[in-house]
Amino acid sequence: MEAIHTRLSTHTVLVAEDDPSTLKWLVRVLKIYFKEVYSSTNAMDALEIFTKRPTDIIIADIQMPEVDGLSFLHKISMISPHTLRVVMTAFNSQPYLNRAVESGVHLYLKKPIDIDELLVALASHMPESMSIPTISNLGKGLHYDMQKKMVYRELQAIKLTKKELLLLELLLKNRYGVVSLDMIEQNLYDDPISDDAMRMVIVGLRKKLYSSLIENLKGLGYRLNIS
């Protein structure tokens, strides 16, 4: 299990399950292996959590009140297509299997969940880390050198502030997901700060690099749009 822990320890997971005892058990086990574990008893609250703190993995039960798990995971697939989407179900009928495929689910697990099977499946689908490559291509002739902490346009260095560098690295670490203002505040600042102040850092980075590099997803957050 050490290899599984190593593979999962840098990742985050969100669990949506309406049965309190099952949810409590899953969260307790997953906290041993994952960097962060979030949970919800319904899809609507889970979606709100995800928009504020996008996770690498989402595990959802099919049957939940108001919005079922497959509809929820389909919504996630449109917001963040690279998030690993896992559905749990006590049903194994063809209609459910067809809907799982249509909803863009990566893993379809039968209840009761075998925790070892779940952990192996998750670990096999995740990269070893979410680290930033030494040299990252930012598009339009720009490259970020992780070791030197510098952005270059060909051989010319572009000077960024400390906050702009932290923001760029946060976006690169979450390059397949969405970065919310809450995430920016947590990673860039020691104390609470206004949304306008955070947006000024985004504006500054866009001006120094190029305006379309950072895409604004209204109501969700920001992500890289490398062209």
Q: Domain locations in the chain? A: 2-125, 135-224
> What gap in Å lies between CA 177 and CA 221, rounded to an integer?
10
Instruction: Give 53 or 13, the one with higher predicted confidence.
Output: 13
Top mean-pLDDT range of 88-102, 129-143, 164-178: 164-178
Q: What is the pLDDT of residue 89?
A: 84
User: Can you read off the two tokens belonging to residue 148?
Assistant: 């030197």
Percent of all residues in the chain with a pLDDT value above 90, rounded to a whole number: 50
State how beta strands 12-16 and 57-61 pair: parallel
DSSP 8-state symbol, 63: -
Instruction: Give 28 or 93, the one with higher predicted confidence.
Output: 28
Tally of CB atoms within 10 A around 148: 11
Average pLDDT estimate for 195-211: 95
Identity (one letter) of the amino acid at 133? P
Short-list 197, 205, 211, CA closest to 158: 205
Q: What is the pTM of this model?
A: 0.61
Instruction: Return the minimum-mean-pLDDT range out of 42-51, 120-129, 132-141, 167-176.
Output: 120-129
CATH topology of domain 135-224: Arc Repressor Mutant, subunit A (1.10.10)
Q: Which residues contact 222 (CB under 8 A, 6 or more apart)?
A: 171, 178, 179, 180, 184, 202, 214, 215, 216
Q: Could you read off the pLDDT of 104-140 as tens digits, one per residue?
A: 788 888 889 999 999 999 988 876 655 566 788 999 9
* Residues 81-104: b if buried by 16+ CB within 10 A, e if exposed: eebbbbbbbeeeeeebeebbeebe
SS3 assignment, position 58: strand
Write out the H or E segment, with its range, that includes residue 164. Answer: helix 162-173
State how beta strands 156-158 and 214-217 pair: unpaired
User: Can you read off the two tokens belonging to residue 144?
Assistant: 């970020």
What CATH number is given for 2-125 in this structure?
A: 3.40.50.2300
